[in-house]
């Protein structure tokens, strides 16, 4: 048996358990925002020349999962090199405030391309 077959068998066995109904409702919402920096903004935490043109807009995209009777959960991916330290906390708090949840229910991930801005307030 090869690895692909093993993974397929495990997936087939686990899928019914992963989606077993508990009687609750899960609301799902998506969002997208333009996070393209202004011309002249530093890129790669200052490791590259500042932005001189915009070839493609950068976005923050995500989902908001709201289990019945619980606070929302936010998962967000940002087209930046990174969001770290106090910047990460501020970003998560803004998203938490926007959907009415606590910061511990928000995850923000950066795609980490080296021609994009970053956010680190420390």
- pLDDT tens digits, 52-106: 999 999 999 999 999 999 999 999 999 999 999 999 999 999 999 999 999 999 9
Q: Which domain holds residue 32?
A: 21-120
* Nearest-angstrom CA–CA distance, 120 and 107: 16
User: Is 53 domain-assigned?
Assistant: yes
User: Is 108 domain-assigned?
Assistant: yes
User: Is 90 domain-assigned?
Assistant: yes
User: Is 114 domain-assigned?
Assistant: yes
Q: Count Cβ atoms below 10 Å from residue 109 Cβ, excluding itself.
A: 13
Domain count, the chain: 1
User: Is 34 domain-assigned?
Assistant: yes
Residues 6+ apart with CB under 8 A from 48: 42, 114, 115
User: Is 7 domain-assigned?
Assistant: no
Residues 6+ apart with CB under 8 A from 35: 58, 59, 60, 78, 79, 80
User: Is 76 domain-assigned?
Assistant: yes
pTM of the model: 0.77
User: Is 6 domain-assigned?
Assistant: no
């Amino acid at each position: 048996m090869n690895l692909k077959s093993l993974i397929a068998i495990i997936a087939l066995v686990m899928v019914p358990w992963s989606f077993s109904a508990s009687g609750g409702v899960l609301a799902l919402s998506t969002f997208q925002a333009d996070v393209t920096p202004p011309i002249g903004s530093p890129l790669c935490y200052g490791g590259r020349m500042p932005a001189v043109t915009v070839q493609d807009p950068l976005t923050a995209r995500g989902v908001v999962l709201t289990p019945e009777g619980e606070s929302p959960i936010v998962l967000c991916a940002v087209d930046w090199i990174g969001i770290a330290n106090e910047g990460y906390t501020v970003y998560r708090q803004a998203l938490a405030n926007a959907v009415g949840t606590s910061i511990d229910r928000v995850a923000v991930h950066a795609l980490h391309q080296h021609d994009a801005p970053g956010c680190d307030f420390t």
